[in-house]
Structure 1
Amino acid sequence: MSNTFGNILKLTTFGESHGLAIGGVLDGCPAGIPMDIKQIQRDLDRRKPGQSKLVTQRKESDQVEILSGIFDGMTTGTPIGFTIKNEDQKSKDYSHLKDNFRPSHADFVYEKKYGHRDYRGGGRSSARETACRVVGGAIAKQILAKYQVKIEAYVSAVGEIKTPADYSIYNIANAENNLVRCPDDIIANKMIDLIAKTKKNGDSIGGIVTCVIKGSPIGLGEPIYNKLSASLAGAMFGINAVKGFELGSGFAGCMRNGSAENDIFDIEEEEVFTKTNHSGGIQGGISNGQDIYFNVGFKPVATILQQQDSVNKLGEKVVLDGKGRHDPCVVPRAVPIVEAMAALVLLDHFLLAKTNHIQKSY
């Protein structure tokens, strides 16, 4: 199984939703970098369950315990090991799934691929594992901040309720001021109402997280098989429930003429830049120094508190009653996960980069 992410900066995670703990090892981290454990915990708190009425009420403190790799507040250059204990499992809520497959979950394909599965909360395929990615990403974000690289994400859509397309009109930090993590307070309240209504009906709804990377140097990524854009897309599709990724103007740009879509070059004080940024900061798979921005689409949570037709291991038709504690919409808690995966990708490419421009600038 593929439990390791990255090339030079490698994150390996372990654990299941209802096991004793989850955790990981982040290897390849440079030595001598100041590391604030409280900042790592803050990102975990943004992801943890039970933080508001809009998300699953599973109560987990999600306290990270650093086992190695950080000493006296500095990275040592050795593998950073960490664990997060599972504290509030209700495995009995999943006993009805031992022989039955939930629609649109990994249950059926997992059973067919491995012949055996942990049906409690989805086991290894549970989104509980993403807490480990948030730890790795929070470390990467602190390293990137040394080079004036900043990564922020926010909820830009829940169902049909959307923010305006241009992220630049917002102070993205304001997204942390409301339950849904949307920087537009008026739209945020509409999103909150929609999620609450959806939850009351025992249903779920999808949405979109927008991520912005500021301060990326020119030259990250390769022109063919290790494009920065492809790495970001792959990282985002590795997050549970992700169904879509679009960079820059995305699919809307595909409907326009080249004369409208092309990013025209200009120069000012010997610095080359583009007048527009439809490319989303990446051209030919390589960062161009402009803001990198992209959208990540999340499907509605597959578990709903309604009856659904399904099948069991014997190939018989069954009717499943939705049980357990689940998010009616994942996007508010997905924001720090998207940031984390973007940080891991960017730092990995940063460490891979050998061009004179990047060495000179950074």
Structure 2
Amino acid sequence: MSASTLGTLFRVTNFGESHGPAIGCVIDGCPPGMELNEADIQQELDRRRPGTSRFVTQRREPDAVEILSGIYEGKTTGTPIALLIRNTDQRSKDYGEITRQFRPGHADYAYWHKYGIRDPRGGGRSSARLTAPTVAAGAVAKKWLTEKYGTVFRGFMTQLGSIDIPFQSIDYIGQNPFFAPVENTNELEEYMDALRRSGNSCGAVIRIIATGVPVGLGEPMYDKLDADIAHVMMGLNAVKGVEIGAGFASARQLGSEHGDSLTPQGFTSNNAGGIAGGISTGQNIDVRIAIKPTSSITTPRQSIDVDGQPVDVVTKGRHDPCVGIRAAPIAEALLALVVMDHALRHRAQNGDVQPHRFAPIAAKAY
């Protein structure tokens, strides 16, 4: 299967299946000399890990990462870094009934026609299980960018199903299972409990903000920074929409209000989401993604089997009633991978360019 590699200079190749013996990735292009160990990566994987609350899949995976190469005496060597995560809690028997059926909303039908064969166990290659190696690779990128530029990535939920989530404080995000920036999540918990009992699912909106991004990342034509961000975000399972900055609200704005005015103190707004002409401005990169409802539900739905006969499909197994709940650390990782790749590309081409004395940025972080 092609298209399993992301990036130009910081290249990440993702491998494995949901119910195979292991999943993982190979990172090629990481600069040498950075201190790196399993704990640096594990802390990010633990944020994404399944089975951490009653609101997500109860598949119990430790997601313990193993570094197989690319490290010597605790530092990156500049050679490929191979990361392995073993699957330990597969339950393939749950998928026996759908071997010959196509689940509505899933990749089953399209995969079967494209490749002539598919792995029905947990969705095989199309499973969100394959986002774990992405998070692992993103942890490496985050560490380098933080140490080099002070760049920080934060993802949080702004909508769960039909519930809008106000922004109260960034400090609340790590204190609840929803990655929600609010102190009280009772409404969200009650909503998800009712949803699970009904055998249904819901979608979500996730916002990702990168602070401390250097000016000048991205290319002015086909490799615009925002174009590459949209590309990777749409590659995340269940994502059906991407907005950068004001996004679709831009259509309602006038030119006099959309343009981010400059003052000696900095930008007065950030409708561009930190990217102008495909190149980073030094402001916060601001991205939102819309995630569709989980397709694996116990509510019977109409479909067909491989012989074209009508069937009612009920998906058994352990699934997230809202895949958006665990999406924040994954989206952070994807944004970090794009920024990392463009940072290395910018350094390669423009490393001798002298920065201008005046580079205003917005002071407000959120």
Contact 2:50/2:57 (<8 A) preserved: yes
- The runs of 5 or more residues in structure 2 that have no matched partner are 357-366
Structure 1 SS opposite 2:56: coil
Q: Quick one: which of 220, 224, 228 aligns to 1:231?
A: 228
Structure 2 SS opposite 1:251: helix
Letter in 1 for 2:270: N
Contact 2:18/2:127 (<8 A) preserved: yes
Aligned to 1:344: 337
Distance 1:307 1:231, change over 3 A: same
Measured against aligned partners, the alpha-carbon deviations of 1:219-244 in whole angstroms (never above 9, x if no partner) come to 10111100000011111011000011
Contact 1:298/1:331 (<8 A) preserved: yes
Structure 2 SS opposite 1:92: helix
- Cα root mean square deviation, aligned: 1.4
Structure 2 SS opposite 1:216: coil
Superposition deviation, residue 357 in structure 1: 7.8
Return the alpha-carbon distance in structure 1 between the equivalents of residues 328 and 98 of structure 2.
Answer: 29
Distance 1:199 1:28, change over 3 A: same
Structure 1 SS opposite 2:286: strand
Aligned to 2:163: 161
Aligned to 1:178: 176
Within 5 Å, give how 1:213-224 maps onto structure 2. Answer: 213-224=210-221
Return the alpha-carbon distance in structure 1 between the equivalents of residues 351 and 79 of structure 2.
Answer: 27
- The answer on 1:210 being equivalent to 2:207 is yes
Aligned to 2:69: 68
Distance 1:281 1:38, change over 3 A: same
Letter in 2 for 1:55: V
Superposition deviation, residue 36 in structure 1: 4.2
Return the alpha-carbon distance in structure 2 between the equivalents of residues 317 and 309 of structure 1.
Answer: 7
Contact 1:217/1:358 (<8 A) preserved: no
Measured against aligned partners, the alpha-carbon deviations of 1:82-110 in whole angstroms (never above 9, x if no partner) come to 11111011101001111100001000000
Normalising by structure 2, we get a TM-score of 0.93
Distance 1:346 1:208, change over 3 A: same
Superposition deviation, residue 359 in structure 1: 6.6
Larger mean CA deviation between 29-38 and 74-83 belongs to 29-38
Normalising by structure 1, we get a TM-score of 0.94
Within 5 Å, give how 1:143-162 maps onto structure 2. Answer: 143-146=144-147, 147-162=149-164
Aligned to 2:137: 136
Return the alpha-carbon distance in structure 2 between the equivalents of residues 57 and 200 of structure 1.
Answer: 15
Return the alpha-carbon distance in structure 2 between the equivalents of residues 34 and 70 of structure 1.
Answer: 9
Displacement over 4 Å in runs of 4+: 356-361
- The answer on 1:290 being equivalent to 2:290 is no
Structure 1 SS opposite 2:252: coil
The count of aligned residue pairs is 352
Percent of counterpart pairs with the same letter? 45
Return the alpha-carbon distance in structure 2 between the equivalents of residues 345 and 132 of structure 1.
Answer: 15
Contact 1:218/1:357 (<8 A) preserved: no
Return the alpha-carbon distance in structure 1 between the equivalents of residues 20 and 354 of structure 2.
Answer: 44
Contact 2:22/2:84 (<8 A) preserved: yes
Superposition deviation, residue 38 in structure 1: 1.2
- The answer on 1:35 being equivalent to 2:39 is no
Distance 1:296 1:153, change over 3 A: same
Contact 2:169/2:182 (<8 A) preserved: no
Distance 1:173 1:29, change over 3 A: farther
Distance 1:240 1:359, change over 3 A: farther
Within 5 Å, give how 1:305-344 maps onto structure 2. Answer: 305-344=298-337
- The runs of 5 or more residues in structure 1 that have no matched partner are none
Return the alpha-carbon distance in structure 2 between the equivalents of residues 77 and 359 of structure 1.
Answer: 26
Distance 1:356 1:23, change over 3 A: closer
Contact 2:36/2:75 (<8 A) preserved: yes
Q: Quick one: which of 257, 261, 280 aligns to 1:260?
A: 257
- The answer on 1:355 being equivalent to 2:350 is yes
Contact 1:153/1:172 (<8 A) preserved: no
Structure 2 SS opposite 1:33: coil
